Structure 1
Amino acid sequence: MKLRVLLLLSVFLIGWSGCKKDSTNPAGNTTTPLVTFTMSSQPGTQGGTSFLFAPSVDVRLTRAIVALAAQQFVDTLTNPNPTQVFSAGTPYQLQEYTGVASGQQWSFLLTGTLVSNNAAFNQPAAYTVP
């Protein structure tokens, strides 16, 4: 009986100590993203607001998912020319939307490949409308 209790206690302690993490990154991923995107907005040509993205490195973009969680809005944009190169630091327009208001928190998921080595990325970005 004492052996069972000791064995059970040992398993519990090993499991408990293995689950304790001081890290704020539970996945343990400490790598730097392949690319980051700077998001911005500007008045659109049709009375709405256009969102823009500027990649940190040259990329080819295949898809962008635009979301406004507060209104349960999601829009998937597929690039009709997935071989187009978007140059680092240059802002490019994604889409124009109506009903965009100050303080809204929009999120983006940009998918594509790096021009330099064809590495795939799936990079999130966030933007709060000023």
Structure 2
Amino acid sequence: MVVDQEQRTAAAGGSTPTGISVAIGWAVMIGAALLAGALFSPAELPARTLLMSVAAGAYAAVVADLRAVVAVTGLAMATFVGFLAHRFGELTGGGDAWSYAIVIAFAATLGAGYRWLRSIAPAGD
């Protein structure tokens, strides 16, 4: 048996741990929610949804870790429903908040698909 003495645990240019990616994404989604809450009134759910969707899609297009993308998307949807569509973090109640939240998941799916397509594109194109 041979032991590799030159093995390093943290290599430069290595992948970011999932927890760090989730924390960064969560901070981005909180910033987007605060911006949506400041710019648009509670009656303007489509505009709030658009802002959260753009943030989720952009995050998914940048981050390669799909586990982090799924976690951040779920948290973004819950934040939208609980704080932008309803008040005080309430995830239940009347209205069509969850149908708007599906748009956030769709945008994240598009962002992840875009990242995947960019990864399989030939280097010469």
TM-score range (shorter-chain normalised) is: under 0.3
**Greater share of residues in helix:** 2
Relative contact order, higher structure (CA 8 A, sep 6+)? 2
TM norm structure 2: 0.26
Q: Which has the larger radius of gyration?
A: 1
TM norm structure 1: 0.26
